[in-house]
Amino acid sequence: MDYKDAGVNIDEGNKFVEMIKPIAKATMKSGVLNGIGGFGALYQLTDYKNPVLVSGTDGVGTKLKIAFMMKKYDTIGIDLVAMCVNDVIVSGAKPLFFLDYFATGKLQSDVGIEVIRGIAAGCSEAECALIGGETAELPGMYNEGEFDLAGFAVGAVEKDEIIDGRNIEVGDAIIGLASSGIHSNGYSLVRKVLFDLGKMSTDDYVEEYGLSLGEVILKPTRIYVKAFKSLKGISIKGMAHITGGGFIDNIPRTLKDGVSAKLDKNSWDVPHIFKLIKDIGKIDDMEMYRTFNMGIGMIIIVPSHQCDDAINRLKAAGEKPFIIGEIVNGKKEVLL
């Protein structure tokens, strides 16, 4: 807890730290030597012969604004973990541990605990330990009742098992894993389209989901760690986490020179929320695919002869996979 600024309630801060210790403790795993409470968290790397550490850091952007509007804070921590660990696994790494940064003008323990419980839930889903973080009280920096979040994940992969796209070949299959919704990107546009242009509110009922609009757009980002682990033995040649930049900017990051990803837009289900945003905002297809995940949160490139096996494993792991395209000759771009 950062007590440097005037006006900080030290007693509240100490109480908060004691409250989060058991929450974090529930995520501990072998390798953690010490966790919450020290100046630094210690993790002993075991079970690797030639390990490479892979790190990822991110936040949840203006999706926080939706949480503030709804006064619902129990899932935003899941988003935070997801944004970091999903980036880590695309290199072939298994997440090991996670740290968070929670900053607010005035600490409200009940809100903070909901956020931390969400982070812990995300860590449990990602099979990594919440081993530390920073809670900063910064008077004057944030509007009343608001806060900011950032996270940091570290994973490890054997050096000869790094996924970097170098082995991608023409004819390889592209598998897409269904997203849970908008995930955590494009929310500035979401708010402008739905609330400003569409004059909607978070309480509006969305018949297609049987939920309020707020519940639909606050649904947490899907974590794909278990899906990735289910593919052990499959020759994964490339992976892409579909975040800011959508399909257009993210998929080329895993491609090597001389190939492109040819996708069939009719091969998966595009959730209704994206159609709603497109229609109200009068946004063209290319911009939608450049901004949003459009129903696919992760893509995995595998040899065509292993595609059926991979699909079956992913289904058994609880995922909804689609064969969405193939690798073709090209200029390291996405062909829709």
CA dihedral 324, 241, 95, 174 (to 10 degrees): 20
CA distances from 291 to 16, 41, 48, 62, 184 (A): 37, 36, 38, 14, 11
Each residue's pLDDT, cut to its tens digit, for the chain (336 residues) gives 443 344 456 666 677 878 888 898 899 888 898 877 778 889 999 889 999 999 999 999 999 999 999 999 999 999 999 999 999 999 999 999 999 999 999 999 999 999 999 999 999 999 999 999 999 999 999 999 999 999 999 999 999 999 999 999 999 999 999 999 999 999 999 999 999 999 999 999 999 999 999 999 999 999 999 999 999 999 999 999 999 999 999 999 999 999 999 999 999 999 999 999 999 999 999 999 999 999 999 999 999 999 999 999 999 999 999 999 999 999 999 999
Q: Which of 171, 169, 175 is nearest to 324 (CA)?
A: 175
CA distance 132 to 64: 22
CA distance 213 to 230: 33
- Beta carbons within 8 Å of 247's beta carbon, 6+ residues apart: 263, 289, 290, 293, 294, 296, 334, 336
Asked if 69 and 145 touch (Cβ cutoff 8 Å), the reply is no
Phi, psi of 69 (to 5 degrees): -60, -40
Phi-psi region of 282 (alpha: psi -120 to 50; beta: other; left: phi over 0): left
Domains for the chain: give ranges and CATH numbers. Answer: 10-161 (3.30.1330.10), 173-335 (3.90.650.10)
pLDDT of res. 39 = 82
pTM (two decimals): 0.94
